[in-house]
Structure 1
Amino acid sequence: MGTGKRGLITAAVTVVCAVTVLAVPGIAFAAPTPTVTATPTPGVGSSAASTVEPGKDLEAVREKLDQLYHAASVATDAYNAAEERTRKQSAEIVELAKKIVQGQDRLDELKDRAGAAARAQYRGGGLPDEAKLMLSDNPQQFLDGAGRVIQGQRATKGLIGEMTRTQQDLEQYAKDATSQWQKLEADRQVRAAAQKKIEKQIAAAKTLESQLEKEEKERLAELEEAAAHQAQTAWLDSGILDEIKGKASAQGKKAVQFATAQMGKPYEWGAEGPKTYDCSGLTSQAWASAGHGIPRTSQEQWKQLKHVDIKDMRPGDLIIYFGDASHVAMYVGDGAIIHAPRPGRTVTLAGAGTMPILGVVRPDA
């Protein structure tokens, strides 16, 4: 085996092995539960809290928790996007590695054929063609043989051309594999940075929540519910529900049925089921179950799917929330959504107007 072939095959095998390692669950895509170390915060969950107006203090806590979980949601979208890209890049690298091995095998075959043709020409060489014609007992036989030689020379030239093209293909495959590998490494770093940010935000939120007394947690839950109720009421009071008359498509009904069946399952960032979900993991899997694939992240769902007016919304459509498109839910009718809210919560039914709506998209437009 030639040095060139060994180098290419070694590179291909290395690529395949490396991609295999990346694809192993729990290694590159693991999402470990962050370890939370409580740090006392003045005025929260301590004797100092009694000196501060309870409602006002807890409202500040609620707003802070919203900020922390929103930041975690944004980072989760970045993580999911990078993960989706690495899946595609890994698959591309594997295919390129296969092409490199197949191309090298083809090149070896062409070299063997070219070598055999060259040896045959050498054995038939020696005297010039004119001398062979004069010495031949059968000039016609010689001419026929000369014609075959010409054909053989043309075939050899064709072999050399194919060998050159195959070699060029191999070089391009190697360049493409290197490029994909570099992109893969860059996205791995993006994922790692996003994971650190997610864990940091969630840890801070859990630390803040852990310092609340039981009564404070109950009051905080009441404040969250009141804020959601106020937002939903304001949305409904706009009269928007009277304008929404759309009926679900056949695929939309299937997507809604899937999302409804997931209610009660825990939220987990980066999760796509079947036991846990994040917001876009739920919506993408719901539509996949309906036989219609959509982008993995809420931001890409907003970018790539058809936008529809809120008044034209129908069950199965996706509502994108916040100005940065960091949250998504599925509209199920009657002013309600099903979504995976945030860490510590489960897939649940909520009012469509409980969060700031950026817009609506339709997967099966």
Structure 2
Amino acid sequence: MSGVLLRLACTAAVTAQAVLAPVPAAAAPAPQRSVSQLLTDLQRLYRQAEQATETYNGTAEKLRHQRAEVTRLDGELARARLALQGSRTDAGRLARQQYQNSTDLSPYVRLLLAPDPQHALDESHVIGRLARERAETVARLAGTEERQDALARAARKALDAQLTLAGQQRKQRNDVTARLADVERLLASLTPEQLSALARLEQKDVAAAQDRLITSGAPADNRPPSSTEADRAVRYAMGQIGKPYQWGAEGPKSYDCSGLTSQAWEHAGTPIPRTSQQQWARLKRIPLTALRPGDLVVYFPEATHVAMYVGDGQVVQAPRPGGKVTLSPLASYPVLGAVRPAADTRPAATDAS
């Protein structure tokens, strides 16, 4: 638990104790939860908030791609309408020529009256060319009309999908806000002594988990990065230490967990998927024993948190609401596994998070 979060929670708890009226003597005392139970509840609420955040991030990423698709289709539709206008102009000119029996049709007459056979053949070639041009004009008109209709349907469908995603995003934003409010309520209900005890217990649990990971073969030495891109990603992530956690943020002033890792690799020249679930699903998985700086460590069974390994058994991460980008032990949360971005990594646009 970050120092800032502890101070805020302590202030809220002391203030609440000062302003609340005394509990009547007849009231039954509320059941006291142990420190370990409180820590379990708090970690559950943090996990739910981050899971809601990553769901929101996934929808936001899909919405960004969908908006780009709508813009692309609108541009194609505008060009198709201009082409259709040109095709209709050509078709109208053809209709007028046929109606007026214009000079463009005179080669038929010249062919019948020509005394020179070679001249007649030349006129025949002209007639064929004109016939082909007219046929192409008609075909172009029909094809352009079909293309405009198809693009209009696609643009409408893409816009409907965009509106649906925007509605999902609004609901998910409300879900994140509600989850964070649950965290704030629990913190505000705790005394400074309980908050200190929670911090001590959490540090003890992390230290024990770190020992188990190192014993099982996870690296604790300072290995070199696996590539120059990994080295650049690590240097970028380390340069963000001290910046606040903000759900849905991708920098440069604040980050959430996957916002930090995706932006670090983006600045290294290797785009990767936006969310922790997508990073876990699409990037190359590696054993923890093979960890090198720049690799991503994914946490919890649902892959709802991610950090970047930087060597010496540590990760750099945007930990959770109220915290700041910081160096932490590899075992700060229950480890699911690790992945390694590669130079040919490409984020997918439409998969679910």
- The alpha carbon displacement at 1:136 in A equals 4.9
Q: Does 1:124 align with 2:94?
A: no
Q: For CA contacts below 8 A with separation 6 or more, give which structure has more relative contact order.
A: 2
Q: Does 1:240 align with 2:223?
A: no
- The alpha carbon displacement at 1:57 in A equals 2.3
Distance 1:118 1:239, change over 3 A: closer
- The alpha carbon displacement at 1:213 in A equals 2.1
- Structure 2: 5+ residue runs without aligned partners? 1-11, 17-21, 344-353
Q: Does 1:345 align with 2:323?
A: yes
Q: What is the 5 A alignment of 1:200-349?
A: 200-241=178-219, 247-349=225-327
Structure 2 contact 110–123 (Cα < 8 Å) conserved: no
- The alpha carbon displacement at 1:227 in A equals 2.1
Structure 1 distance, partners of 2:205, 2:63, is 39
Structure 2 distance, partners of 1:281, 1:165, is 45
Partner of residue 3, structure 1: none
Paired AA for residue 201 in structure 1? R
- The alpha carbon displacement at 1:232 in A equals 1.5
Structure 1 contact 110–163 (Cα < 8 Å) conserved: yes
Q: Does 1:110 align with 2:87?
A: yes
Equivalent position to 1:158, from 132, 136, 152: 136
Q: What is the 5 A alignment of 1:86-101?
A: 86-101=63-78
Distance 1:175 1:322, change over 3 A: same
Q: Given the two structures, how large is their TM-score scaled by the length of structure 1?
A: 0.79
Q: Percent identity?
A: 36
Secondary structure at 1:330 match in 2: strand
- The alpha carbon displacement at 1:266 in A equals 0.6
Paired AA for residue 79 in structure 1? Y
Secondary structure at 1:67 match in 2: helix
- Structure 1: 5+ residue runs without aligned partners? 1-36, 41-45
Give deviations 1:129-174, integer Å, cap 9, x for gaps: 9995699587777875565344222201101111111111111111
- The alpha carbon displacement at 1:249 in A equals 1.6
Structure 2 distance, partners of 1:129, 1:259, is 77
- The alpha carbon displacement at 1:331 in A equals 0.3
Distance 1:355 1:134, change over 3 A: closer
Paired AA for residue 49 in structure 2? A
Secondary structure at 2:219 match in 1: helix
Structure 2 distance, partners of 1:178, 1:321, is 40
Structure 1 contact 272–278 (Cα < 8 Å) conserved: yes
Structure 1 distance, partners of 2:187, 2:216, is 34
Q: Given the two structures, how large is their TM-score scaled by the length of structure 2?
A: 0.82
Secondary structure at 2:315 match in 1: strand
4+ residue stretches of structure 1 with deviation over 6 A?
Answer: 46-53, 128-131, 137-143
Partner of residue 74, structure 1: 51
Structure 2 distance, partners of 1:150, 1:139, is 19
Q: May I ask how many residue pairs the two structures share in their alignment?
A: 321
Structure 1 distance, partners of 2:225, 2:36, is 39
Distance 1:338 1:133, change over 3 A: closer
Secondary structure at 2:34 match in 1: helix
Give deviations 1:311-359, integer Å, cap 9, x for gaps: 1110000011111010000000011000111100111111112221111
- The alpha carbon displacement at 1:248 in A equals 3.5
Structure 2 contact 270–342 (Cα < 8 Å) conserved: yes
Secondary structure at 2:324 match in 1: coil
Structure 1 contact 271–277 (Cα < 8 Å) conserved: yes
Partner of residue 175, structure 1: 153
- The alpha carbon displacement at 1:215 in A equals 2.4
